[in-house]
Amino acid sequence: MAGTVVVGAGLAAAHVVATLRAQGYDRPVTLVGEEIDRPYERPPLSKGYLQGATPREDVFVHEPGWYADNDVTTRFGTVATAIDRAARTAALADGSVLGYDHLVLATGSSPRTLDVPGAALDGVHTLRRLADSDVLRDELAVRSRLVVVGGGWIGLEVAAAARTAGLHVTVLEYAAQPLVRVLGPQLGELFATLHRDHGVDVRTGVGVEGFEGSDGRVTGVRAGGELVPADVVLVGVGAAPNVGLAVRAGLAADASAGVTVDEHLRTADPVVLAAGDVAHAHNTALGHALRVEHWDNAIRQGTLAARSILGQDAAYDWQPYFYTDQYDLGMEYVGYADSDDRVVVRGELDARELIVFWLRDGHVRAAMNVNVWDVNDQLRALVGRRIAPDRLARQDVPLDEL
């Protein structure tokens, strides 16, 4: 009766343990997390929490007493250092060893950093944890010039928060448009324009060469042959899956692709599973494996990992989903398209109130609603279907009649 050990006490982990208990699992459950906080949601860290609008208590997945009430043993502030698959044990940094019947790797991902001169100067930040958001919020309160390196989701959300707080903000993006790898050039430009309209200096096609500083603190970012003044910097250049434990345990895992799991989230060792940002999982709806760094994925895969442990025949069979909020723009995206897929716009691009479809071979691969609400379930139902582009574009044809 060793039970289940979940390594990494983030969003996916919280949903593993909640689902196990909700569905009657009666063996021991232990949650091991490097962070001292109980599981919390990260999206507010670059949005409402960073802006001071979302109180700290609102970011946690469960009330403090939930874990004890549900007989979940917590080891917060403790790193799992090794897994012995033959003995079915996990070793923790404090010297303790936990036996398991099942082990879930829910170790998430860590921000990538830049290997350029000055990257370690004070004032150069990444954003992943509550404490990072606290530090950044304090910085935004007293600094006046923010440079964001990387026009991805987190970088743009922080840019929006900082502009809203009145800072001068520059975004430096290596590609020709922000978000171009996900959304393609036309929709990438929509986000560039959104930020420019709010007064952000969005520079594209520029690589960062290094950071300049004075007395150990950042004063500027050298990029594209220019020095951009900065008294605080956010580096948002993506995240890498935390695969170290899996690699050391001899499981198939890659430093950028993640831990290889099947559609039930099992590794080649069927009692070791992976879920959330760290998992490179076979998706039966898409017909291939992928790794997804999204809130919805962590919740659903945490639930799925628990169901696999419970012996249910559930699979990773849903379309990916994510969302963002920047200024007065809210958007949701469902599906999985390539950035060179055909784009069909329904609505007003310039007014930033629209639905976008991505098509390949006549089939809808993904859809995104921008400032159009309560339609994402209908859009999800359209993904995978063959629909004529001119009908998709016609606003007089209701979504449920397409």
Ligand X SMILES: Cc1cc2nc3c(=O)[nH]c(=O)nc-3n(C[C@H](O)[C@H](O)[C@H](O)COP(=O)(O)OP(=O)(O)OC[C@H]3O[C@@H](n4cnc5c(N)ncnc54)[C@H](O)[C@@H]3O)c2cc1C
Angle between helical axes of 153-164 and 180-197 (0-180°, round to 10): 10
Residues 108-167 that bind ligand X (CB under 6 A): 108-109, 127-128, 154
Q: How far is CA 319 from CA 151, 279, 288, 364, 389, in A?
A: 24, 16, 12, 12, 21
In the bound state with ligand X, the residue whose beta carbon lies nearer, of 14 and 192, is 14
Q: Using CB atoms within 10 A of its CB, is residue 193 exposed (0-12), middle (13-18) or buried (19+)?
A: middle
Radius of gyration of the chain (CA): 22
300 binds ligand X (CB under 6 A): no
Segment lying near ligand X (by CB under 6 A), choices 103-111, 219-227, 375-383, 387-395: 103-111
Smallest gap, in angstroms, from Cβ of residue 211 to ligand X? 21
Which residue's C-beta sits nearest to ligand X? 10
Coil vs helix vs strand at 362:
coil
12 binds ligand X (CB under 6 A): yes
Q: Which tokens in the block code for residue 113?
A: 């950093």
Other C-beta atoms closer than 10 Å to the C-beta of 21 total 18
Sheet containing strand 217-223, edge to edge, reads 208-214, 217-223, 226-229
In the bound state with ligand X, the residue whose beta carbon lies nearer, of 242 and 376, is 242
Say if CB 239 and CB 128 are below 8 A apart: yes
In the bound state with ligand X, the residue whose beta carbon lies nearer, of 211 and 321, is 321
Interstrand relation of 201-204 and 208-214 (parallel, antiparallel or unpaired): unpaired
Say if CB 276 and CB 11 are below 8 A apart: yes
8 binds ligand X (CB under 6 A): yes
In the bound state with ligand X, the residue whose beta carbon lies nearer, of 263 and 296, is 296
Segment lying near ligand X (by CB under 6 A), choices 7-15, 116-124, 326-334, 338-346: 7-15
In the bound state with ligand X, the residue whose beta carbon lies nearer, of 280 and 344, is 280
Q: How far is CA 236 from CA 114, 164, 254, 284, in A?
A: 10, 19, 21, 31
295 binds ligand X (CB under 6 A): yes
Residues 23-82 that bind ligand X (CB under 6 A): 32-35, 42-43, 45-46, 79-80
Coil vs helix vs strand at 19:
helix
- Which of 294, 346, 352, 365 touches ligand X by CB under 6 A? 294
In the bound state with ligand X, the residue whose beta carbon lies nearer, of 118 and 316, is 316
Binding mask 243-262 for ligand X (x = CB under 6 A): --x-----------------
- Which of 139, 189, 231, 277 touches ligand X by CB under 6 A? 277
392 binds ligand X (CB under 6 A): no
Residues binding ligand X (CB under 6 A): 7-13, 32-35, 42-43, 45-46, 79-80, 106-109, 127-128, 154, 242, 245, 276-277, 293-296, 298, 322-324
